[in-house]
Amino acid sequence: MTVHARPEYAEVDISAFFDHVRHDLVLKALEHHGMPKWVLLYCRRWMEAPMQSCENGELINRTRGTPQGGVVSPLLANLFLHYAFDLWMERECWGVPFERYADDIVIHCSRMSDATRLKSRLSDRFSSVGLSMNAGKTNIAYIDTFERRNVATSFTFLGYDFKVRTLKNFKGELYRTCMPGASKSAMRKITETIKGWRIHRLTDKSLLDFAKQYNAIMRGWIEYYGKFWYRNFSYRLWSAVQSRLIKWMKAKYRLLNRKRPIKDVWLFLSNLWTIVPIYY
């Protein structure tokens, strides 16, 4: 969970939310929401189903947590935090705006003291519902065009890094503003995924084959991360793709006993958008 402010930001992380959420409080939230008894019964059985140990195969009974990756887990988490967090914020911190997506939360405060005080109150609130904040990932950030020392200047929310960046307006003039961009961890995962395709070994494939196979994945990345700071994201994305295509072309033409200078490879890749329209 991330808590931030205007311009003060306190970044807070809930420790293993899906592993520690209490079953009785989830069922209480469902009951308060007007769910019928048969829904409560199925949810109880689903949450309390034994978990098999990866080490010795032993079945372990669960009294807390929901299976990560389960189709119902995000829904139950959203409903639980509606009562544990949303309504608490409206009652105890009326007028303080916030955004929440499952257990990822952003709260806007106006001063550093407000962010610090709210972080302490949230720690007590989460403790009362059986959760805890991760001290190692909890910090206060300052996001403004005026720099401040000894404080973090960025935070991450839903795969985006939010921080002050230097941009150009339509007149070519430089200005500084808070702008989201694909986070370092997100770009690292994307790069690892592209490397995992092992394109350089598929010398029997063509560019059109790659376009058909990876078109949907590339579109998804661009649609999500390209909404903000698109030029920077597209440069990093296509740099990762082109580096793998260079290895593929060198391997492909070496197998065919043909030599293609690296200059020709770069010239070919510079026209890749017109040859294979992966994304428009």
| 63-106 pLDDT tens trace | 788 877 677 888 888 888 999 999 999 999 888 888 888 788 88
Q: Where is pLDDT greater, at 50 or 257? A: 50
**Lowest model confidence (mean pLDDT) among 16-25, 82-91, 116-125, 270-279:** 270-279
Structural domain contains residue 129: yes
What is d(CA 178, CA 180) in angstroms, rounded to the nearest whole number?
7
Task: Establish if 241 belongs to a structural domain.
Answer: yes
Residue in this structure with the two tokens 């389960």, named with its chain if needed: 70
CB neighbour list of residue 262: distance below 8 Å, 6 or more residues apart: 246
Residues in a beta bridge with 164: 178
Looking at the structure, tell me whether residues 104 and 191 fall in a common domain: no
In a domain, residue 242? The reply is yes
The Cα 182–Cα 65 span in angstroms is 30
CA-wise closest residue to 253 among 200, 180, 216, 213: 200
Query: Does one domain contain both 31 and 107?
Result: yes
H helices of 169-229, in order, are 184-196, 207-225
Indicate whether 28 and 114 sit together in one domain. Answer: yes
Q: Can you tell me the distance from the alpha carbon of 76 to that of 95, in angstroms, rounded to the nearest whole number?
A: 26
Same domain, 207 and 257: yes
Q: Which residue has the higher pLDDT, 9 or 172?
A: 172
Q: Is residue 99 part of a domain?
A: yes
Question: What pLDDT does residue 279 have?
Answer: 45
37-48 helix and 23-32 helix, angle to the nearest 10 degrees = 160
18 and 117: one domain? yes
| Residues 87, 207 within the same domain | no
Overall average pLDDT of the 219-224 stretch: 91
Structural domains counted in the chain: 2
- Res. 271: pLDDT tops 70: no
Same domain, 29 and 77: yes
Amino acid at 96: V
Structural domain containing residue 57: 8-142
Is residue 173 one of the residues assigned to a domain?
no
Q: What is the model's pLDDT at position 133?
A: 81
pTM score: 0.74
Q: To the nearest whole percent, how much of the chain has pLDDT over 70?
A: 84
pLDDT tens-digit map of 232-266: 888 888 888 888 888 888 787 764 445 555 555 55
Together in a domain, 104 and 29? yes
User: 147-152 long-range CB contacts below 8 Å, 24 or more apart?
Assistant: 152/9, 152/11
Q: Is 111 found in the same domain as 193? A: no
Q: Are residues 138 and 30 in the same domain?
A: yes
**What does each C-alpha distance from 180 to 33, 102, 146, 197, 276 come to in angstroms?**
35, 20, 17, 28, 29
Q: 37 and 120 share a domain?
A: yes
Tokens of 91: 């009652």
Give pLDDT tens digits for 161-203. Answer: 888 887 778 888 888 878 888 889 999 999 999 999 998 888 8
Q: How far is CA 191 from CA 29, 71, 85, 89, 214, in A?
A: 41, 27, 35, 38, 14
CATH number at residue 12: 3.30.70.270
194 within a domain of the structure (yes/no) = yes
Domain boundary among 92, 110, 142: 142
**Residue 206 covered by a domain:** yes
Which residue stretches of the chain are H helix? 17-20, 23-32, 37-48, 73-81, 87-92, 112-128, 184-196, 207-225, 230-255, 262-270, 272-275
pLDDT at 16 over 50: yes
The last residue of one of the domains, among 111, 142, 173, is 142
Task: Give CA 237 to chain center in angstroms.
Answer: 17
As a whole number of angstroms, the distance between CA 224 and CA 57 comes to 39
Looking at 110, 142, 174, the residue that finishes a domain is: 142
Considering the domain boundaries, does residue 207 fall inside one?
Answer: yes
Task: Clarify whether residues 131 and 200 are in a common domain.
Answer: no
